[in-house]
Each structure stands twice: as structure tokens, then as C-alpha cells.
């Protein structure tokens, strides 16, 4: 199984596990993009892509995303992040010009990943934690 096929299996596995419907597009060069729009069991739009030969990336809502390479080494971290987000185990805390992915730690939260970009989110703070069905 090549890397594109492995990524496609990972993406569709999330849909099966969390009972989500997606739109999928495969490009001639092997790039794959999957979009899970807001639906029962998913309160924010989520997209996942595999491209550039060995890079996997994702976005949640309008203001959080990440990417990693090289694959296949990056697959494990990606699966852990997406599983945590989709299951509601992890949360995303939005703030001014930055967002963080947090995981539970004792009785508080620990930052797992940071995202910053030039996007204006239009609000001070927001916390997103999915509630799957």
C-alpha cells in the first residue's frame, strides 16, 4: 500500500469510527483531500489532506490547523491528534491571533500543539471540544 492509499484509509477510518459523512477528492498526482462538514456528531468543519508526496495536514473550524511530514512517520501523531479532536478528548482554545490544541493533564489542560496565523478570528476567546454522537 502506497502513502496515498494509507492516508486515504486513515481518513476514511475516522468517518467509520465516528459515523461521519465526508466529501472526498483524489487528484491525479495522488493528493487526497477529505472534508467533514458540520453534522450530527461534529460541531466544526474538519478537513484532512495528504499531498506533496509525504505531508499530511488538517484544519478544524476556521482558525486551527496543522501539518506534519515525512510520512509514514507522521501518521501516528496525526492519528492521535485527530482522534483526540473528533472524540472530544482534546479541545481547541482560540485566542487573539493564536490557537492551541490541549489535552487533559491531571485536573487541568496541557498544550499539545500551537497554531498561529495572520487570520483575525473576530472574538476574544472560544473553546471547542467536539461531542460525538
Give the domain ranges of the chain. Answer: 3-128
- What mean pLDDT comes out for the span 46-50? 96
Chain segment 103-121, per-residue pLDDT in tens: 999 999 999 988 765 555 5
Is the separation of the CB atoms in 42 and 99 below 8 Å?
A: no
Q: Cell for 12?
A: 476514511
Q: Provide, rounded to the nearest whole percent, the portion of the chain with pLDDT above 90.
A: 65
**Does pTM surpass 0.75?**
yes
Q: Which residue has the cell 491531571?
A: 106
Q: Are strands 126-128 and 23-26 parallel, antiparallel or unpaired?
A: unpaired
Amino acid at each position: 500500500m502506497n502513502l496515498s492509499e494509507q492516508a486515504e484509509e486513515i481518513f476514511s477510518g475516522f468517518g467509520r469510527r465516528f459515523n461521519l459523512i465526508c466529501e472526498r477528492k483524489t487528484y491525479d498526482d495522488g493528493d487526497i483531500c477529505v472534508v467533514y462538514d458540520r453534522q450530527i456528531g461534529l460541531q466544526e468543519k474538519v478537513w484532512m489532506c495528504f499531498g506533496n508526496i509525504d505531508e499530511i495536514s488538517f484544519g478544524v473550524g476556521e482558525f486551527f490547523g496543522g501539518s506534519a511530514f515525512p510520512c509514514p512517520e507522521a501518521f501516528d501523531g496525526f492519528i492521535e491528534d485527530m482522534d483526540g479532536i473528533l472524540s472530544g478528548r482534546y479541545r481547541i482554545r482560540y485566542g487573539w491571533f493564536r490557537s492551541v490544541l490541549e489535552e487533559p493533564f491531571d485536573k487541568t489542560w496541557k498544550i499539545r500543539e500551537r497554531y498561529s496565523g495572520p487570520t483575525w478570528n473576530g472574538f476574544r476567546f472560544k473553546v471547542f471540544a467536539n461531542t460525538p454522537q
